[in-house]
Amino acid sequence: MRIDIITCLPELFEGPMNQSIVKRAVQKGHVDIQIHDLRIYSTNKHKTIDDYAYGGGAGMVMMIEPIDLCISELTSQREYDEIIYLSPDGETLNQGICNQLSLTKNLILLCGHYKGVDERVRQHLITREISIGDYVLSGGELAAMVLADALIRLVPGVLNDESSALTDSFQDGLLAPPVYTRPATYKGWDVPAVLQSGHEGKINEWRHEQSVKRTQDRRPDLLS
């Protein structure tokens, strides 16, 4: 899978995209992440990528031309499954969307800033808009990283069996059951006996019951 990220803050991606599972996924060749600095596509001498809003009002708006030039360069090289704009008014991200996008081959993620992008970008250049929740971030970069992280761990081969994504919360519409590790007793707090029984059938049954209970208690909306 290839993910092209268009941003005016490329340095932000250096840490999170170079650690842990994402780093291993890149090293093993499961995913290729390319960060594109939008300023390089600015056509004015000050290398600006934003301008005042038509009609007035506070806040700058990201200009269409640098975004168009960057997207055009990318789409001239390969076909993209989706060109996604991260925005608080997009469809809210969930595990279903992540599953679907993890099966695609090429994605562009466009990070917004300031008051957002010129509306014509949304009308003509992108194919999908995604929000990571009902709150406003100072830019789309963190949202793009959240989306990339959630997708990459689902790409076949990225996780080993032990940490398989199949047992994650939301993957079967339920929250994940509680987990424990050694010691079996700590300050008198015990690990449930069934988990220590070695009886696989009983353990699976317990885990399912706990998943249902946890979902009923914490996220009853997922069951309806």
**Among candidate residues 152, 153, 145, the one with its CA nearest the CA of residue 13:** 145
Shortest Cβ 132–ligand ADE spacing (Å): 4
Nearer to ligand ADE, 1 or 62 (CB): 62
Residue with tokens 């999170």: 16
Closer residue to ligand ADE in complex, CB, 7/102: 7
Q: How far is CA 36 from CA 12, 94, 221, in A?
A: 12, 26, 39
Q: Which is nearer to ligand ADE, 33 or 117 (CB)?
A: 117
Q: Which is nearer to ligand ADE, 133 or 183 (CB)?
A: 133
CA atoms of 51 and 183, how far apart (whole Å)? 59
Place of tokens 């008051």: 115
Rounded to whole angstroms, the Cα distance separating 24 from 22 reads 5
Of 134 and 161, the one with the shorter C-beta distance to ligand ADE is 134
Residue that the structure tokens 């010129």 belong to: 118
Q: Is the peptide bond before 183 cis (omega within 30 degrees of 0)?
A: yes
| Closest approach of ligand ADE to the CB of residue 116, in Å | 8
**120 phi, psi to nearest 5 deg:** -65, -25
Q: Nearest approach, Cβ of 74 to ligand ADE (angstroms)?
A: 20
Q: CB of 220: closest distance to ligand ADE in angstroms?
A: 24
Q: Which residue lies nearer to ligand ADE by CB, 66 or 140?
A: 140
Rounded to an integer, what distance in angstroms lies between the CA atom of residue 207 and that of residue 175? Answer: 11
Q: Min. distance of Cβ 87 from ligand ADE in angstroms?
A: 5
Q: Dihedrals φ, ψ of 83, to 5°?
A: -115, 105
CA atoms within 13 A on the CB side of 32: 6
CB 152 to ligand ADE: min, Å: 18
Closest-approach residue to ligand ADE (CB): 143
Binding positions for ligand ADE, rule: CB under 6 A? 86-88, 112, 131-133, 135-137, 140, 143
